[in-house]
A and B are shown apart, each in its own frame.
Chain A
Amino acid sequence: MPLDLVVNVTIAGVLTGLVYGLMALGLSVIFGVVRVVNFAHGEMMTIAMYAAVILFGAFKVDPFLAVLPVAAVFFALGYALQAGLINPFITRPEHSQFILLVAVATIMVNGLLIGFGPDARNLQVPYQLESWEFGKILLDKARIYAAAAALATSAALFLFFKYSLTGKAIRACADNNLGALVVGLNVKHLYALTFGLGSACVAVAGCMMILLVDVTPNLGPAYTLLAFVIVIVGGLGSMPGALLGGVLIGVSEALAGLYITPSAKSMMSFGLLILVLLFRPQGLLGRKA
């Protein structure tokens, strides 16, 4: 295997992995605070991808501009979903929450199927075919931009949680729910806010991902599983962990596609997940519960 090919594939894996990481970050933030696993996460991702396709098809809006309205709408929808449906399920057993979100996911997947049919959709922007060349190293412009946007969004979220008052309040809810209630925080509102933020992350990730792959309605469950794998490998509730997990999975997928066969790529991810769950259940960067 020529070295420059391996290097190029690895770089592409890292860049795609950062977008994966942003998607998983949304799941991680939601689980870390609300303690509910969002089984509709990948389905939300595909909705964002369709949104970018539509905005581009109808109004020629570049995905990097489409990010803003799509993320805003997703924030509102995520807030409504948590406030209306999920908040009453916080104290229910896990299998109840699972069915609730599976039902939501089913409606999402099939709503897309009704609206857009089963065929793959994509969009074409001029810079998708351009790249920078450094000797034998090729850097796809679309991939670089997408990864940069993912990093910027993650950084913004990180700063929000670290320094803003609301971010601190949300972290307080996650650390000690009862304590947060005692000091008078509106926990349900903060939960909804968190779900909104997690949804906005997915929206950005979806708008970026559509530059890299085609979308079909059935892609949702695969992305949901992918997000779980990443978040558990990186450490549930750890923000840098989600990005690290994303990069690891992105690279392992890319290399498995190169060395073994593309269809075996998710076997690598699930193998990695099983190993991490067994030997470091809190994830690579997670704290012990």
Chain B
Amino acid sequence: MAVKVVMPQLGESVAEGTIVRWIKRVGERVEKYEPLLEVMTDKVNAEVPSPAAGILREILVPEGETVPVGRELAVIAEAEAEVEVAAPAPAGEAPARPETTEAAEGVRQRYSPVVRRLAQEYGIDLSQVPGTGLGGRVTKEDVLRYVAERERAAAAKGAPPPPRPEAPPAPAPEEEVIPVSPMRRQIAQHMVRSYQTIPHAWLAMEADVTKLVRFREAIKAEFRRREGVDLTYLPFVVKAAVEALKEFPVLNAVWAEDKIILKKRINVGIAVALEDGLIVPVIKDADQKSIAGLARAIADLTERARAGRLTLEDVQGGTFTVNNTGALGSVISRPIINEPQVAILTSEAIVRRPVVVDDAIAIRAVMFLCLSFDHRVIDGLMAARFLQAVKRRLEAVDENTSVY
């Protein structure tokens, strides 16, 4: 028989302990109640006695580690000639379904207050609604699903609600059915959730980036040679956005119903277009990076996104998103916020345009910056100040700017 040694509860309110020292070594004989190891908590130090006589067969937690109360620390083999016996696989546990205590009969026709209210609101005959609750009871979800299906059917037919279709209609000859990929489905769900829950408001500002264009043209060949990656405009935009976020931290936040949670870390998501979808890898701690560092991070994430080699870690934890729609030739766009973030910024295509400078018309390189923001969290004033800050920083880039 093997006996397990567990981390004891060394006092009320003590939840964990640190192994100071193993008094016995693996293979050593130990008597019952003989000190086996020394444990330290923030309240006490104590020796833990062996729960049984035998051989210390295995030490599972090394010295110096802190583990919660109840965690297995060691195994003691009671009999010296213990034979390893494979434990039988635990019998498949029946899923713990709640027991149906109420007789199913009659339950179907018993409607909860919310179900009655919804039925009245939508003019529904509840006997037509399939029930999935206890004993076939019609639940709120059942009613809402029924309403949604009815509306969808009505919208499709442009006619009064027909009875529930038994199966999806077969495609007509002039239609083609494309199965929805998991990525497509996820994008769809995310976009719907974002658009339905966040009241989107939108702003656009024009930035004169003539000096930025000149600067980049001047250094891009050298940069490519030195760094091995192309210097695009995107790292400049990300840098400007990150600095503006430092100035207006409320845009680096999450709406949580009764509060707004400001994020201390600035992790900027970069929308990467794929042939069959879209993914948003995240530059972690973007505020710690120089323009060159951002360029490298963007190149790395983009390359791995296109090769399908992003890890879960790469796409999590974003606090703000930048979408380089300019790369697609767009000059103005209205992005959907990457929920639960507060805002998303696009950097649009840079175009040369006649612009009034002082009292003359000049040819300048200009780009639109577009911002969608969660109007629950901020108002136009804050959004405009933020966008002004981004614009100001982009317009300030010139030959004196350092990319390091």
Q: Do A and B bind each other?
A: no
> Which residues in B have some Cβ–Cβ distance to A below 8 Å?
none
